[in-house]
Amino acid sequence: MDRRRTAFTLVELLVVIAIIGVLVALLLPAIQAAREAARRSKCVSNLKQFGIALQNYHDALKTFPPAGCVNPRRAADVFASPHAMLMPYFEETALHGLYNQKLPWFKQRPEVAETVVPIFSCPSNSGDNPLQDKVLLLVINSLVPDNVFRSDQSFGTTNYAFCKGVTDAWSFPPYQANRKAPFESERGMFDFNWAVPMRKITDGTSRSIAMGEGAFGDNWQVSAATRPGQDRFALATGLAAQRQPYMAWINAEPSFLVGPELGVYLYSVVACTLEPLNKNPVTSAWVNAEALTTDGSKSLPGASGTRTPTSCQDPDDNCGAHVAPNFRSDHPGGGHFLFADGSAHFISEDIEMLLYQQLSTISGDEIVDLPD
């Protein structure tokens, strides 16, 4: 009698598995590309929501928000970040109602500080949200004993930084009358205690960057923390590995209290174009509140045709009285930017530095266009 075969042979089974493996290998890049395209689309949507909020804020108050509000008698008291000031225009009225405008960021309610606002985060970013920074909590508890944060406090983060222009120098007009402010041609839309009306964007709203991406996570290092002995507080506590260029949306403060003196390097919700897009390690943020002058500001040399401060208090650190972080993105090849007219564009990390810097200023008197 004939015996009919009812199953695959081992060879046939191995061939089928191999074919399936090849098909999966062919499909996987396409799936990953589709997912990244979806993440990019969401990132652009988030930035456009910021654009709408900025325009509505301007319609209501006749200026764009400042990069932060600072107490002129106590520079450590930094109040609302731009994210906090824009909350009513993001349909976050309830969260805005919990934010006490009369208190600095480190005295806000813990549940406010740890709130995650979805449109503040790029879906491609690899960092945690919310994020617990034990170093920051140790420093705050030691220097600001009346703060309200818990020992296990987490902070809601953001991946979107406001543009302060090509300069990394901070200025606090109007009360710093005896100090030099950054050259007007180097300034972007945002700085402390400085709210820009539309009429001051003389380069054109479609040619002036308002915001860009500020990614963080394990893929991004901190420039100061990579130098032995620099991050002394973190090293002493065994927490040096935690240093990431993250930004808590509630905190606009660029390390007044905890800068190089303690070796703790923090970040602000603003960034500049003095250094290239996606530079890694990322430059930290710190401002010398006692020496607010562009003459002491220096990071990396600017592009040909731009003014770059030449003096530096510490040449070995490639920085001076001020430092500000560079823009960075987890999207391959570049990052998304929001312009003052509310449009969002992807800019390649290979963009010519001079053009990149010119796009970041609002009154540089340049005639430039976005690259194709």
Report how far residue 188's alpha carbon sits from residue 361's, in angstroms, rounded to the nearest whole number.
Answer: 4
Structural domain contains residue 249: yes
Averaged pLDDT, 65-93: 83
315 versus 332: the higher-pLDDT residue is: 332
Structural domain contains residue 90: yes
Structural domain contains residue 370: no
Structural domain contains residue 54: yes
Structural domain contains residue 17: no
| 284 close to 255: Cβ distance less than 8 angstroms | yes
Report how far residue 320's alpha carbon sits from residue 310's, in angstroms, rounded to the nearest whole number.
Answer: 10
Number of domains into which the chain is organized: 1
Strands 270-271 and 209-213, how do they pair? unpaired
Structural domain contains residue 5: no
- pLDDT > 90: percent of the chain: 36
pLDDT in tens, 131-187: 887 777 777 777 677 777 887 889 999 999 999 998 877 765 543 444 444 567 888
Q: Residue 18 burial (CB < 10 Å; 0-12/13-18/19+)?
A: exposed
Structural domain contains residue 23: no
pLDDT in tens, 19-47: 888 887 777 776 777 788 888 999 999 99
**What string of DSSP letters covers 147-177?**
----TT--B-B-SEEEE-BS------TTT-T
| Number of residues written out for the chain | 372
CA angle (65 as vertex; 179, 195 as ends), nearest 5? 35
pTM: 0.81
Structural domain contains residue 364: no
CA distance readout (Å), 157 to 79, 206, 213: 17, 28, 12
Supply the range of the domain harboring residue 296: 42-359
pLDDT-derived band at 314 (thresholds 50, 70, 90) equals very low
